[in-house]
Amino acid sequence: MTESIAGQALALTTVLVDDALDTPNRVITADVAVADLPPARYIMRARVMHDAVEVARLHRPFWIN
């Protein structure tokens, strides 16, 4: 999560997906610790990688009050 799309990450996590499921769609959920971040507007960034190649990217704003 960052204060801008291009900023340095302030919190980070990695999620591995089990490829054993034989379905075309997957839902991935991850927890990221943000308790130490002060109240402000932030941008969540997610990158989806497959075999070390980025296949999707997502940015969403959120606020900590």
Residue bearing the bigger pLDDT, 5 or 10: 10
Residue 62: which pLDDT band, with cuts at 50, 70 and 90?
Answer: very high
Distance CA 25, CA 17 (A): 12
pLDDT at position 40, please? 92
Domain residue limits, the chain: 1-20+29-65
Per-residue pLDDT tens over the stretch 15-54:
887 777 777 888 888 888 888 899 999 998 888 888 889 9
pLDDT at position 11, please? 86
Q: What single DSSP character describes residue 35?
A: T
pLDDT at position 4, please? 54
Q: Is 15 helix (H, G, I), strand (E, B) or coil?
A: coil
Q: Is the pLDDT of residue 10 over 70?
A: yes
